[in-house]
Amino acid sequence: MKLSKKITAGILIIFIVMMPVIMILKKSFRFPEVSLKGLSDGSFVHEFEELFADGFSWRSMWVSASAEINSCIGEPIINGVYITDSRLIDTGSAVQFDAEKTAGIVNSFSEKCTGAVYFAAIPTSAGIYRDILPEYMSGTTEKQKADILYEKLNTDIRKIDAYSILKMLSDSYIYYRTDTKWTCYGAYCVYRTVVQKLGFMPVSYDKYTIRHMTDGYRGNLYSRTQYTESKSDQLDIYEYNDGTETTSCTVYDNHGGKYKCELYNTDAVETDNMYDLYLYSGQPLVKINTTVNNDRHLLVIGDEFVLNFVPFLTKHYSEISVLFPEYMEKETDYFVDTDKYEQTLILLGMDKMNILEMIK
């Protein structure tokens, strides 16, 4: 055990011993029973965290220390996140959707479209690195769930096996260490296959100039654990100067309003919301126009996984509309006319399949 972890564990134990005294004085506290079993199996820390985490003014310090002691005493899980030396892994996001219901929604949507529909279910980091988790956490994997979903989709829907692509490259930096999402490189690896399915040749990796915007990003899994020993992540931008440019990027809200945005918001890396670097609007629709002179229109339906993925597609289409069902308060027809698009790509994470209910 690292000395730093021993010190942290010692401080936390002292903290646990002293806190009842403080709270008894406040007459507002029922302290959980202390036992050797509770300390060893993590249940004491879990009860203590539940008691304090929401109301305690030093919540971040508590969650961080709790993660440290859980790691030290053999139960490295906090707030549903498994802590390893190499990464943080969500233990419960993989199978929380009904594959048959989701397939029915996609099939119904596809039947209304005049153009071709493509579907890519993107595994979260837990789906790719599940073999790191203890055996007792085994269950239906994201791969198994995706296979069931794909089997139930109509035969005319083009299925893209993102799992196999990413699993083969799992030793590369394709997912953030502190987040459930893929990196720009992970997005690029799937882009190569997707864009060929869409009828184009992918831009080769060596043609990109990669800008490292920050190496201090800590994602959604870090937010849940505050585990400071997890290495922070790097946010990149891939640039390819082939003469084509993005001419406009427009956000549309649920009430008819619209405003301009940028494909990349580089100022975001200086804020607490670094991931807003990528096409984030929190609104249902973003339309991107380019100087690509082919009059090809693509509709993309997705979630956070499309944010650093869509920029790769801008070298192939004159217009791309990106629809985010998660933020839709009205029906699909209010935002887009699906007959306008000769191709529709549905691409979203396995943990967000439920949001497809909004496109019915």
Distance CA 305, CA 190 (A): 11
In this prediction, residue 329 carries a pLDDT of: 96
What is the amino acid identity at position 131? D
Extract the tokens encoding 239. 């640039």
What per-residue confidence (pLDDT) applies to 43? 53
Q: What pLDDT was estimated at residue 280?
A: 78
Helix, strand, coil in percent for the chain, rounding step 5: 45, 20, 35
* Domain chopping of the chain, boundaries: 3-75, 99-359
pLDDT of 25 reads 47
Which CA distances in Å does 152 have to 45, 105, 112, 147, 161? 43, 11, 18, 9, 15
User: What is the residue-wise DSSP string for 286-335?
Assistant: EEEEES-TT--EEEEEESGGGTTTHHHHTTT-SEEEEE-GGG--S-HHHH
If DSSP codes are grouped into helix, strand and coil, which group holds residue 78?
Answer: strand
Nearest to 359 by CA among 95, 99, 93, 110: 110
Question: Residue for token digits 């619209």?
Answer: 258
CA-CA distance, 192 to 252, in Å (whole number)? Answer: 29
Give pTM, 2 decimals: 0.82
pLDDT on residue 76:
86
CB of 157 closer than 8 Å to CB of 112: no
Q: Across the chain, how many H-helices and E-strands are there?
A: 12, 13
pLDDT of residue 63: 52
Q: How far apart are CA 23 and CA 17, in angstroms?
A: 11
Going by C-alpha positions, the residue among 233, 223, 221 that lies closest to residue 83 is: 221
- What's residue 40's pLDDT? 45
Structure tokens at 252: 């549309």
CB 274 within 8 A of CB 259: no
Q: Which of 251, 248, 340 is nearest to 291 (CA)?
A: 248
- pLDDT, tens digit only, all 360 positions of the chain: 455 555 555 555 555 555 555 444 444 445 556 565 554 445 555 555 555 444 444 455 545 555 555 555 456 888 889 999 899 999 875 557 899 999 999 999 999 999 999 999 999 999 999 888 888 776 778 999 999 999 999 999 999 999 999 999 999 999 999 999 999 999 999 999 999 999 999 999 999 999 999 999 999 999 999 998 889 999 999 999 988 999 999 999 999 999 999 999 999 999 999 999 999 779 999 999 999 999 999 999 999 999 999 999 999 999 999 999 999 999 999 999 999 999 999 999 999 999 999 997
Cβ(305)–Cβ(184) under 8 Å?
A: no
Rounded to the nearest 5°, which phi and psi values hold at 257? -80, 155
CB 214 within 8 A of CB 274: yes
Using CA atoms, how far apart are residues 274 and 222, in angstroms rounded to an integer? 13
Q: Where are the beta strands (DSSP E) in the chain?
A: 77-78, 81-83, 88-90, 116-122, 158-160, 209-217, 233-239, 246-252, 258-260, 285-290, 297-302, 319-323, 343-349
The three-class DSSP label of residue 83 is strand
